[in-house]
Chain A
Amino acid sequence: DSGVTQTPKHLITATGQRVTLRCSPRSGDLSVYWYQQSLDQGLQFLIQYYNGEERAKGNILERFSAQQFPDLHSELNLSSLELGDSALYFCASSVAPLSGRLYNEQFFGPGTRLTVL
């Protein structure tokens, strides 16, 4: 158990709908990352938040957005869903963004499997 929790575990919805995925980081971790794992694209970084502020953006579609709340949990909002959005969405957390250290280990949650029908 990594200490990162994600809900729901599975989500089935229809095209055009909107869903919200939730992530609670490990206790004490200030940084949250979202990744998408799909068969054709593999594992891709979407977005990172640190202590409530957006820190970095990756291949995140404009239909997707995220935020990190004062209690440090994060939500990923996916709207106008398309069949191709079906994927496993992972959240990861780390202590802080890089600050003079060689790396910060990211701890991954179990993921939310989204199926768009």
Chain B
Amino acid sequence: GNSVTQMEGPVTLSEEAFLTINCTYTATGYPSLFWYVQYPGEGLQLLLKATKADDKGSNKGFEATYRKETTSFHLEKGSVQVSDSAVYFCALSDIQGGSEKLVFGKGTKLTVNP
């Protein structure tokens, strides 16, 4: 079945450092790809998305490009802030019979120190 693999955490960075969180997927067809973020004590929020190959999703300084050749959707940010500390989930949409569920990676916890 469809699956998502993302780099294990935790990841600890200093403020203004460059962030990469790797994500690869296995899927039949061409799913939409997402990054969700979970701040402490909160639910998941959609951070960015890409719906077809070569699309680049971006939001709040984060970017990810849908790479069909490498089945990847790596999350990047050029300069992280303390407020970016959260758990990040890569996900794909699994569409069957008119229903759409999300398949998530295990999550990567990011801590940014001042």
Contacts and interface: CB of A to CB of B under 8 A. Distances in A.
Interface residues of B, number: 26
Contact of B103 (A45, A55, A98, A105): A45
Q: Is the interface of B mostly helix, strand, loop or mixed?
A: strand
A37 B41 CA distance: 13
B51 interface: yes
Given A43-B107, A56-B97, A103 B43 contact: no
B89 A102 contact: no
Interface in B25-61: 32, 36, 41-46, 49, 51-52
B42 A42 contact: no
A56 B100 CA distance: 8
Interface string A35-78: 10000001111001010000110100000000000000000000
Interface in A86-111: 90, 92, 94, 97-99, 102-111
A43 B108 CA distance: 12
Given A43-B107, A45-B102, A56-B99, 6 more contacts: A48-B99, A48-B101, A50-B99, A58-B101, A104-B100, A110-B43
9 contacts: A2-B43, A2-B45, A56-B97, A92-B44, A92-B102, A98-B95, A98-B100, A106-B46, A108-B45
Interface of B: 32, 36, 41-46, 49, 51-52, 89, 93, 95-107
Interface of A: 2, 4, 33, 35, 42-45, 48, 50, 55-56, 58, 90, 92, 94, 97-99, 102-111
